[in-house]
Amino acid sequence: MLQPGKALKQRPQYVIETEIGVGGFGVTYKAKHQDLNFPVVIKTPNSRLCRDANYPKFVEGFRKEGRRLADITQFHHPNIVRIIDFFEEDNLPCLVMDFVKGENLYNLVQEKGILSESIAINYIKQIAYALSLCHENGIIHRDAHPGNMILRENSNTVVLIDFGLAGNVNSQSINQAANLAFAPWEQMLETEKSASIDVYTLAASLFYLVTGDTPTPCLARKMLNNDLIEPKRINSRISDRLNQAIIQGLELEPKNRPQSMKEWVGLFPGLSSGNNGNEVELKSDVGMDYRKLRDLLKAGKWKEADEETARVMLAVAKREEKGWLDIYSIDNFPCTDLRTIDQLWVKYSDGRFGFSVQKRIYQGLGGTGEYNGDIWQKFGDKVGWRKGFQWLYYKYGTFDKKAPEGHLPVKWNWGVFVWLFFSRVETCRL
């Protein structure tokens, strides 16, 4: 166990401050990076499992999944906690992560009451998209309950933390520590590594966010034939479609659940754009008025909103006469304004469009601030800006919510330094 108040031998820049959580297979600590003066979280395997016959496999699984998670988060995915270091201290693997300042959704509901249907869906969708990326890379979270979802301070962004690293290694000790309120019964099986585990846990989390209660424990349903109480019986205000989506995600047998996050999220009700989460604060460092952009997006007028986006960006950068952004204007574009524009697009497109979405796609293809023609072409193909190996003229864009993810906004990108823009989006932490 790491000792509070002491600097680590292998990484003396980290000083342990306090233990902040103990799980079935991991212990987390809050620590401080002395040189840079910022907080971090350090996670280690639970040393109390050292007598378990599978402990060596468990530690090796921790190492492997830690490396894979680091690969996923190197581009700062907005909804997955970032891995920033990995080392061993007295043969104990240590994974260092960002400390996400905010409140977890479990405590948020406990303190302020249940969330509206639209806000709950908005938060859960963010986590579902993050889990989809993890599943594509062979990682099952296994512990995606509200206590591991942090609503980042002063934002509507929810961050998934505390991955159940190496949870695929069977251990009697681990199984006894499983959270029965949110975990499916098959999570206790050594051979079960399906994405449907996370579907169940996320459905249970959504159940909690809209009812303030947890679903009937899976073991009571499995062993005692207890019925699942439908969330609508607890909160009659939620829609029938959401009620059914939660029930399907909580199917007792994994084969009866949606088999992917995309399939499950597809069951959600189609909410009106103006009712999807909290209102975006129309902040600007230069006094720009974003009400017209908000109203166009709210009305689903995608082409007009795209043109308005280009107009306000050029006005903010004082580049109206030039009609495009140069290196200087990109590097100095106000983060406050960039964030407002992005949040409006993300909100009213249900997370399909926006700078942060485009950045995630671009960086996911390996894109950086350095120009790479192959990656830029792949990005164009991915977001629908290219078809048949040809870049499309603006008039042939798809101004519809069914356009490929990241397709809009598009008119802002006129110029030769577009790929540098995503570095600015990264710097502004969108």
pLDDT digits (tens, 9 = 90+) for 140-161: 887 889 988 999 887 788 999 8
> Which pLDDT value is given to residue 367?
84
Judged against a pLDDT cut of 80, whether residue 403 lies above it is answered with yes
**What are the domain boundaries of the chain?**
14-98, 102-274, 279-427
Higher pLDDT, 416 or 30: 30
Chain segment 314-353, per-residue pLDDT in tens:
999 999 999 888 889 999 999 999 999 998 998 888 778 9
Look at the domain 14-98 and name its fold: Phosphorylase Kinase; domain 1 (3.30.200)
Mean pLDDT of 88-111: 88
Contacts of 269 (CB under 8 A, 6+ apart): 117, 121, 239, 241, 242, 245
Cα–Cα distances in angstroms (integers) from residue 93 to residues 72, 108, 419, in the given order: 19, 32, 37
> Which pLDDT value is given to residue 418?
76
Distance (Å, rounded) from C-alpha 98 to C-alpha 87? Answer: 15
> Which pLDDT value is given to residue 273?
36
Chain segment 179-238, per-residue pLDDT in tens:
678 888 887 775 557 888 999 999 999 999 999 999 998 888 888 888 899 999 999 988
Peptide bond into 409 cis (omega under 30): yes
Higher pLDDT, 164 or 361: 361
> Which pLDDT value is given to residue 171?
37
> From the CB of residue 177, how many other CB atoms can be counted at a distance below 10 Å?
15
Mean pLDDT of 66-79: 74
At the top level of CATH, the class of 102-274 is mainly alpha
From the number of C-beta atoms within 10 Å of its C-beta (0-12, 13-18, 19+), residue 258 rates as buried
Mean pLDDT of the chain: 84
Which candidate, 423, 190, 246, 254, places its Cα nearest to that of 325? 423
Mean pLDDT of 367-376: 86
Place of tokens 């986006």: 309
Distance (Å, rounded) from C-alpha 187 to C-alpha 196? Answer: 10
Chain segment 295-304, per-residue pLDDT in tens:
999 999 999 9
Distance (Å, rounded) from C-alpha 230 to C-alpha 216? Answer: 9
Look at the domain 279-427 and name its fold: 1.25.40
**H or E segment to which residue 174 belongs:** helix 172-176
Residue 23 pLDDT level (bands cut at 50, 70, 90): low
- Residues 430 and 362: beta-carbon distance below 8 Å: no
Strands, E assignment, 139-284: 149-152, 158-160
> Which pLDDT value is given to residue 1?
73
Judged against a pLDDT cut of 90, whether residue 384 lies above it is answered with yes
Judged against a pLDDT cut of 60, whether residue 425 lies above it is answered with yes
Distance (Å, rounded) from C-alpha 46 to C-alpha 44? Answer: 6
